[in-house]
Amino acid sequence: MYSFFLWIPYIVVIGAILYFFVYKRSKFKNRAGAGAFFFENDCLVLNTGVPYPIPFGEIERVELHYNQLELDRRLSYGLWVWVVRKNGKIKRVYYKGYRTAKLALPSDMKAALEEHGLRVCMVDR
């Protein structure tokens, strides 16, 4: 019986972390099936566990690092999205891409970013 009470703080901490994730993700409505990122409220939002918004005005360029050979031969691929800010800081996010997302391929992502007026650099690693 006493050992049950020792688990209560762990359960509360885990519950708080889960609530934080659900709360942060619920703030964004375009995240479902978005892929590596989506656009909302004049921000580029990196679709991570906790979505990471970056205002368009702070972005110098976006780099998409991918492997063309992997992209041609497999249904899934690995992609690094690097957002370089004007102040020199870089936010890097890894994305495991599948061809079912709205922005499925790096070329689709590049077109969407350019449509929003962002500079894009595609890097075949």
> 2-124 sits in which CATH class?
mainly beta
Amino acid at 65: H
pLDDT band at 32 (very low <50, low <70, confident <90, very high): low
The pLDDT confidence band at residue 56, using thresholds 50, 70 and 90, is very high
How much is the pLDDT for 114? 94
For the chain, domain boundaries: 2-124
Q: What is the pLDDT of residues 62-119, one digit of tens each?
A: 999 998 888 888 878 889 999 999 999 999 999 887 776 667 788 888 999 999 999 9
Between CA 95 and CA 123 the distance in angstroms is: 15
The dihedral through the CA atoms of 34, 109, 38, 52 has a sign that is positive
